[in-house]
Every structure is written in C-alpha cells, then in structure tokens.
Amino acid sequence: MTHRAPLTNHHADGTGCPAEHKHTTSGKPLHPDCPGRAYTQAICSCGDWQMKNPGKGYVNESLRRHRASHPKPDPTGPKVLRDLLRLDAR
C-alpha cells in the first residue's frame, strides 16, 4: 500500500491558501488578495505522522524521511512473469 501525505499551505487564520496563490521562497504573497503563507502542513494517510511548520522545505524533507520509514510494497504479479521480465531486462 502506498501512503499519501499531500502538502497543504495555510494562511495565519487557518484557512487554506490555494495553489494559485504564488509565494516567494520565504512565504510572502505574490497574489494581491493573499495575506501570505503562514505554515505548510502534511498528514500521512498511515495515521501515525503529521507535520505543521512555517518552513515548507522543512515539512517536505520531514515527509521524505517519514515515507522512507514505510516498508516497501511487495511486487505484484505472478512470480513466473516477474522472472521473465527480469530475464528480458538483462
């Protein structure tokens, strides 16, 4: 099973900051109606991890580390087919 944890940006009042609200790397708004990105949040579908931080890069890096802690999914399909594909790849 592949877990998902999309990044979401939020304004200081907790409302979502839409994707069309572009920002500088420091979170300052480039869109005239945006008060600015106050924090970025990610919640993993595994239910055991979430992160909320003003630094979008920090949340992204923490998410990469968390995903690496998930076990790798088993390959799907019959073993004979996997073996045949391995032979063709050489």
Distance CA 31, CA 11 (A): 13
| The pTM of the whole model exceeds 0.75 | no
pLDDT recorded at residue 88:
55
pLDDT, one tens digit per residue, over 9-60 is: 999 999 999 888 888 877 788 888 899 889 999 999 999 999 999 998 999 9
| Structure-token pair, residue 13 | 């009042």
DSSP, collapsed to helix, strand or coil, labels residue 65 as helix
